[in-house]
Amino acid sequence: MGNIVAIVGRPNVGKSTFFNRLIQRREAIVDAVSGVTRDRHYGKSDWNGQTFSLIDTGGYVKGSDDVFEAEIDKQVELAIDEADAIIFMVDVESGITGMDEDVATLLRKIEKPVFLVVNKVDNAKRLENAVEFYSLGLGDYFPIASTSGSGTGELLDALIKALPELEDEEETELPRFAVVGRPNAGKSSFINALIGEDRYIVHDVAGTTRDSIDTKYDRFGFEFNLVDTAGIRRKSKVKEDLEFYSVMRSVRAIENSDVCLIILDATRGFDGQVQNIFWLAQRNRKGIVILVNKWDLLEDKETNTLKEYEKVIRREIEPFTDVPIVFISVLTKQRIFKAIETAVEVYKNRSKKIKTSELNERMLPIIEHYPPPAWKGKYVKIKFCMQLPTPQPQFAFFCNLPQYVREPYKRYLENKLREEFDFKGVPVSVYFRKK
């Protein structure tokens, strides 16, 4: 379970540049997934071996500055509620504005660590000018220049020191299934339908995470924790349709889970917000099951619309299309246990370990039959492969020229691994290493 750091501040102070700078080093290594940079407001960063999630709140506000005036208070309140530490960014060029003062007023009242960061300080004159920010009443500030990165080291050192110590997870390592999706898609009702009148329920465990309730559940002879983010309404007077709100709520639940059950409302479709949640789970390498709820409410369903609907979703989630999609109705309890059964299968797929001998026996002939295409006249020879000892499926293929293996071939091998060993619902990573 990780800490969450939120970056707040008015538009155009350089939040995104700073955000991109912090996640870049890491994303470049961790995130070798093609085409998954759709959602640039959430990422992971690490400093001196400590990893944290970073959320750029500014990225979620579309519209003009005056729209932003109304939204920024909500965003800051939400960040105060959900994050473990807050970076408040201001800009030395424009000095203190009324909007900065509003944000400072909200931040002065809270107990959490707040870091006042003065951006665009790239010469001695500006360093002098930054002194005026003391008047915001947030104590010391960090002068940085996010385009060149100067000053970020000191800031990160201080940030890491201030983050709360992570509690050790409880000994009972039960699998955790998180129910996520946008507001009103039926998350609470899904969980209530599972638990409500159900004698299988074991007992409630006080949520180990601050903002989700864990319910221990036993079904099909399989015990797991259901992580419900739906049931808690925070004190924030946040509009329900705020995209940022859903994503922020989902981040923690997703990071703390093994399998994500993404619920969507059939009448609204697989829209941008649900896609954000999907890519978030995919980037965190979690098992995924997509549940289409309220299917019974769709008018004019012919026999083939179910297939059509599924096709549309799979098109949206390319290239990671090997994901189970279950059509349910929470209201009539149709297929809700099928949903859990599917999640259990995905969990098992995610924790599957394949013997090195078996892996080579099955993969090497496939590679021999269709070797990597030559690149610049060089032939790649893959000699050996093994599964890496990670919580989710990652495979290393050892060869003479790893740098010449292109993306399409990587994807080909991933698909073959899926065919041979069944990793439905689980992101699989393939790496090439020098023998």
Does the domain formed by 4-162 have CATH 3.40.30.160? no
Give CATH superfamily name and number for 176-351.
P-loop containing nucleotide triphosphate hydrolases (3.40.50.300)
Q: In the 8-state DSSP scheme, what is residue 329?
A: B
Percent of the residues in the chain that have a pLDDT greater than 90, as a whole number: 42
> Is residue 124's pLDDT more than 80?
yes
- The answer on whether 122 is annotated among ligand-binding residues is yes
- The answer on whether 338 is annotated among ligand-binding residues is no
Q: Half-sphere exposure (CA, 13 Å, Cβ side) for 132?
A: 14
- The answer on whether 307 is annotated among ligand-binding residues is no
- The answer on whether 6 is annotated among ligand-binding residues is no
Give start-end residues of each CATH 3.30.300.20 domain in the chain. Answer: 356-434
Distance, in Å, from the CA atom of 381 to the CA atom of 371, rounded to the nearest integer, reads 8
Rg (CA), the chain: 24
Angle of CA points 386, 431, 415, to nearest 5°: 80
Give CATH superfamily name and number for 356-434.
K homology (KH) domain (3.30.300.20)
- The answer on whether 80 is annotated among ligand-binding residues is no
- The answer on whether 216 is annotated among ligand-binding residues is no
For the segment 386-404, what is each residue's pLDDT rounded down to a tens digit?
Answer: 999 988 999 999 999 999 9
- The answer on whether 15 is annotated among ligand-binding residues is yes
- The answer on whether 120 is annotated among ligand-binding residues is yes
Q: H helices of 289-429, where?
A: 305-316, 336-350, 356-369, 407-421
For the segment 412-433, what is each residue's pLDDT rounded down to a tens digit?
Answer: 999 999 999 999 999 999 999 9
> Is residue 230's pLDDT more than 90?
no
- The answer on whether 187 is annotated among ligand-binding residues is yes
- The answer on whether 324 is annotated among ligand-binding residues is no
- The answer on whether 147 is annotated among ligand-binding residues is no
Output the pTM of the full model: 0.69
- The answer on whether 258 is annotated among ligand-binding residues is no
For 159, counting Cβ atoms within 10 Å of its Cβ (0-12 exposed, 13-18 middle, 19+ buried), the class is buried
Q: What is the mean pLDDT of residues 276-302?
A: 84
- The answer on whether 294 is annotated among ligand-binding residues is yes
- The answer on whether 56 is annotated among ligand-binding residues is yes
- The answer on whether 225 is annotated among ligand-binding residues is no
pLDDT of residue 253: 82
- The answer on whether 252 is annotated among ligand-binding residues is no
- The answer on whether 42 is annotated among ligand-binding residues is no
- The answer on whether 228 is annotated among ligand-binding residues is yes
pLDDT of residue 217: 73
- The answer on whether 181 is annotated among ligand-binding residues is yes
Q: Residue 394's beta-bridge partner residues?
A: 429
Give start-end residues of each CATH 3.40.50.300 domain in the chain. Answer: 4-162, 176-351
- The answer on whether 13 is annotated among ligand-binding residues is yes
Q: Which of 372, 374, 370, 378 is nearest to 409 (CA)?
A: 372
- The answer on whether 312 is annotated among ligand-binding residues is no
For the segment 27-79, what is each residue's pLDDT rounded down to a tens digit?
Answer: 433 333 333 333 457 778 888 888 888 888 765 555 555 656 666 777 788 77
Q: Which of 321, 349, 337, 319 is nearest to 258 (CA)?
A: 349
Q: What is the mean pLDDT of residues 218-239?
A: 60
Q: Which residues contact 360 (CB under 8 A, 6 or more apart)?
A: 384, 385
For the segment 161-204, what is each residue's pLDDT rounded down to a tens digit?
Answer: 998 876 655 445 788 899 988 777 888 778 877 776 443 333 44
- The answer on whether 98 is annotated among ligand-binding residues is no
